[in-house]
């Protein structure tokens, strides 16, 4: 290119660089009704350096350092949204499925929303009702992501009626499953659709869904159904302080890897009733699930390619010794119930008291082994009476929590929980049931200005497994940005005295608006952790951990 042209273009570029702001301003002034859209996102990085420790069984990690990273970037302009997510597992942290490997754009979508219609192409998450037939979601801290990739339409034909249709394949770690998923859901807010009912005190919602997966038959000795469908109906009734909601689901024959390939159909029911007023609330829930493990691949196991979600109704605990033996929902056979009463002093006072009592239980189903076959001579597996439950206890949790404020400086919580945990059914056949009593005391002292000290003391006593544990934590908040914590979990009751280990850790953290960085050294158990003002799901870890989260 000729020198003159080059010089000319160089001058133009300089001019552009210096008048950048003016250009943008003039564009905005001339086309003030056109916006250029917004770009926002978030990132999360968890990196760990592992220290091999044979005494507690911490394995040697050949890579020494492992990390999981996520970055979501979304662009929105008016009715249009598009986004991508970059994930990196180089390599995945301990406790995450090793199939999370490598890096790439694991999630991408585009969607357009007009008043009544919304179209999404690419990846999306979706839940129908309470999730008994379809729940596609992510729980990053646990390495769970069963996103769908395909097409979704949402349509609101008349006020109060919501229709959703979707088709897609499900995410399986760094790739997709073979099953094709189709689903349809309809929901009606009766009081909105029928204008005459809009003022009625009784609010009614009804809905129904149908989900089907197609997977070619792959077993020469069995006649496998290639299309397996599940349907559900749901409702919600609310009146003043009362609420009643339920969902009833059923699935046709679905011989799969988790149910010994039986041809028995499945069903599940979920029902909740509650009453709440200022300062007092009662809630009762029950769930029954019979052969409702539903996936987009009949051969998938563990947490892979799950299509539906049967919730564990027991209280979601946050203190680590309370979640030492956590209940996991058994979709192929469980009957659960959970009742809770909350009472909280209403009057404005410096001595506020609040009390919560919760009783949660889970049993197996009352089944009798059956050699019966259906019309096609397929093995049914077992028989059970509808809505009944069996005699085997899977889980019990009797829980009492008392919180008391003492003026503006002191807050105290005292918790007692008695739990029964059938390890043989929940984890490994042959293991015993564990009976444990747990006490937790959590005290907060607000010092000068923003400085706060929080002390947490916990004790778990049991005659099974590794016997008694104690945990102490001190958390010091210097100001709204800085905090530090020291923790020790001690297995003082272990029958083998040389295995009475201390699982200690030290953490320091910095938060500024939507950015947060924490550094810890030590050992941490899997579960929900609430430290430094944040709660998150954390998998088991050991070593030096760095965590960064940011939203922009």
Partner 1 sequence: MKKIVIGILSFMILTNLSTAQTIAAADVKTVDGKTVNTSKFTNDGKPIIISFWATWCKPCKKELDAIEENYTEWQKETGVKLIAISIDDARSASKVGTEAKSHSWDYEIYVDENQDFKRAMNVNNVPHTFVVDGKGNVVWQHNSYAEGDENHLFEVIKKVAKGEKVTE
Question: Least distance from C-beta 79 to partner 1, angstroms?
Answer: 9
Q: For residues 538 and 524, is the Cβ–Cβ distance under 8 A?
A: yes
Show Cβ contacts of residue 209 under 8 Å, excluding neighbours closer than 6 positions: 128, 129, 133, 134, 183, 184, 185, 186, 231, 232, 234
Identify which of residues 39 and 257 has a Cβ nearer to partner 1 in the complex.
39
Question: Least distance from C-beta 141 to partner 1, angstroms?
Answer: 9
Identify which of residues 81 and 491 has a Cβ nearer to partner 1 in the complex.
81
3-state secondary structure 53-111: ECCCCECCCCCCEEEEEEEEEEEEECCEEEEEEEEEECCCCCCCCCCCCEEEEEEEEEE
Show Cβ contacts of residue 148 under 8 Å, excluding neighbours closer than 6 positions: 123, 124, 125, 126, 136, 166, 168, 169, 170, 171, 181
Identify which of residues 10 and 492 has a Cβ nearer to partner 1 in the complex.
10
Identify which of residues 51 and 237 has a Cβ nearer to partner 1 in the complex.
237
DSSP 125: -
DSSP 51: -
Taking the CA atoms of the chain, what radius of gyration do you get in angstroms?
27
Between the alpha carbon of residue 480 and those of residues 407, 449, 501, 551, the distances in Å are 21, 10, 34, 18
The separation between CA 69 and the C-alpha centre of its own chain, rounded to angstroms, equals 18
Question: Least distance from C-beta 348 to partner 1, angstroms?
Answer: 7
Torsion sign (Cα): 192, 310, 303, 57: positive
Identify which of residues 24 and 222 has a Cβ nearer to partner 1 in the complex.
24
Q: For residues 310 and 289, is the Cβ–Cβ distance under 8 A?
A: yes
Show Cβ contacts of residue 540 under 8 Å, excluding neighbours closer than 6 positions: 94, 95, 524, 525, 526
How many Cα atoms sit within 13 Å of 207 on the Cβ side? 29
- Which residues are paired to 272 by β-bridges? 245, 285
Between the alpha carbon of residue 444 and those of residues 112, 152, 196, 455, 476, the distances in Å are 48, 48, 52, 6, 10
Which residue carries 């000068």 as its tokens? 448
Question: Least distance from C-beta 502 to partner 1, angstroms?
Answer: 25
d(CA 451, CA 443): 14
Identify which of residues 431 and 548 has a Cβ nearer to partner 1 in the complex.
548
Question: Least distance from C-beta 334 to partner 1, angstroms?
Answer: 14
Question: Least distance from C-beta 41 to partner 1, angstroms?
Answer: 6
Question: Least distance from C-beta 299 to partner 1, angstroms?
Answer: 26
Identify which of residues 434 and 531 has a Cβ nearer to partner 1 in the complex.
531
d(CA 333, CA 264): 13
Identify which of residues 61 and 307 has a Cβ nearer to partner 1 in the complex.
307
Q: Would strands 502-512 and 482-490 be described as parallel, antiparallel, or unpaired? A: antiparallel
Identify which of residues 303 and 480 has a Cβ nearer to partner 1 in the complex.
480
Identify which of residues 229 and 509 has a Cβ nearer to partner 1 in the complex.
509
Question: Least distance from C-beta 507 to partner 1, angstroms?
Answer: 13
Q: For residues 174 and 99, is the Cβ–Cβ distance under 8 A?
A: yes
d(CA 390, CA 370): 16
d(CA 318, CA 184): 36
Question: Least distance from C-beta 356 to partner 1, angstroms?
Answer: 8
Question: Least distance from C-beta 305 to partner 1, angstroms?
Answer: 18
Identify which of residues 285 and 545 has a Cβ nearer to partner 1 in the complex.
285
Question: Least distance from C-beta 175 to partner 1, angstroms?
Answer: 22
Identify which of residues 474 and 530 has a Cβ nearer to partner 1 in the complex.
530
Question: Least distance from C-beta 203 to partner 1, angstroms?
Answer: 5
């Amino acid at each position: 290119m000729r020198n003159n042209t080059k010089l000319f273009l160089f001058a133009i570029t300089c001019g552009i660089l210096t008048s950048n702001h003016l250009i943008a301003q003039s564009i905005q002034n001339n086309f003030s009704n056109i916006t250029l859209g917004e770009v926002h996102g978030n990132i999360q990085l968890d990196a760990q350096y592992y220290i091999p420790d044979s005494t507690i069984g911490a394995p040697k990690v050949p890579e020494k350092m492992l990390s999981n990273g996520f970055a979501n970037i979304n662009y929105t302009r008016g009715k249009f949204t598009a986004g991508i997510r970059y994930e990196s597992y180089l390599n995945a942290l301990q406790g995450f499925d090793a199939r999370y490997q490598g890096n790439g754009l694991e999630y991408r979508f585009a969607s357009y929303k007009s008043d009544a219609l919304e179209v999404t192409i690419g990846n999306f998450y979706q839940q129908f009702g309470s999730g008994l037939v379809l729940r596609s979601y992510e729980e990053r801290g646990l390495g769970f992501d069963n996103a769908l990739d395909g097409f979704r339409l949402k349509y609101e034909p008349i006020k109060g009626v919501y229709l959703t249709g979707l088709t897609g394949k499900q995410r399986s770690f760094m790739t997709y499953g073979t099953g094709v998923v189709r689903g349809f859901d309809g929901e009606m807010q009766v009081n909105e659709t029928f204008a005459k009912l809009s003022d009625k005190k009784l609010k009614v919602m009804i809905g129904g869904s149908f989900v089907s997966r197609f997977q070619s038959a792959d077993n020469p000795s069995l006649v496998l159904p290639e299309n397996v469908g599940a349907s559900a109906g749901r409702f919600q009734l609310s009146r003043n302080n009362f609420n009643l909601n339920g969902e009833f689901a059923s699935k046709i024959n679905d011989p799969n890897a988790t149910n010994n390939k039986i041809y028995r159909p499945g069903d599940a029911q979920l029902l909740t009733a509650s009453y709440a007023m200022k300062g007092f609330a009662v809630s009762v829930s029950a769930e029954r699930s019979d052969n409702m493990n539903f996936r987009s691949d009949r051969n998938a196991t563990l947490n892979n390619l799950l299509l539906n979600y049967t919730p564990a109704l027991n209280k979601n605990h946050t203190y680590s010794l309370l979640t030492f033996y956590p209940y996991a929902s058994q979709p192929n056979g469980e009957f659960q119930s959970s009742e809770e009463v909350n009472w909280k002093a209403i009057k404005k006072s410096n001595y506020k008291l609040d009390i919560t009592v919760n009783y949660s239980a889970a049993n197996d189903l009352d089944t009798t082994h059956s050699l019966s076959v259906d019309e096609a001579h397929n093995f049914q597996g077992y028989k059970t009476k509808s809505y009944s439950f069996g005699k085997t206890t899977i889980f019990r949790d009797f829980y009492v929590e008392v919180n008391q404020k003492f003026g503006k400086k002191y807050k105290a919580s005292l918790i007692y929980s008695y739990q029964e945990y059938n390890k043989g059914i929940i984890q490994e056949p042959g293991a015993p049931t564990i009976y444990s009593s747990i006490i937790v005391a959590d005290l907060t002292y607000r010092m000068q200005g923003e400085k706060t000290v929080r002390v947490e003391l916990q004790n778990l006593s049991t005659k099974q497994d590794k016997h008694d544990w104690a945990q102490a934590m001190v958390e010091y908040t210097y100001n709204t940005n800085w905090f530090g914590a020291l923790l020790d979990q001690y297995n003082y009751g272990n029958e083998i005295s040389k295995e009475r280990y201390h699982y200690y850790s030290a953490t320091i953290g910095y938060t500024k608006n939507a950015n947060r960085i924490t550094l810890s050294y030590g050992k941490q158990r899997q579960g929900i952790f609430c430290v430094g003002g944040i709660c998150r799901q954390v998998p088991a870890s050991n070593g030096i951990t760095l965590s960064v989260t940011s939203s922009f």
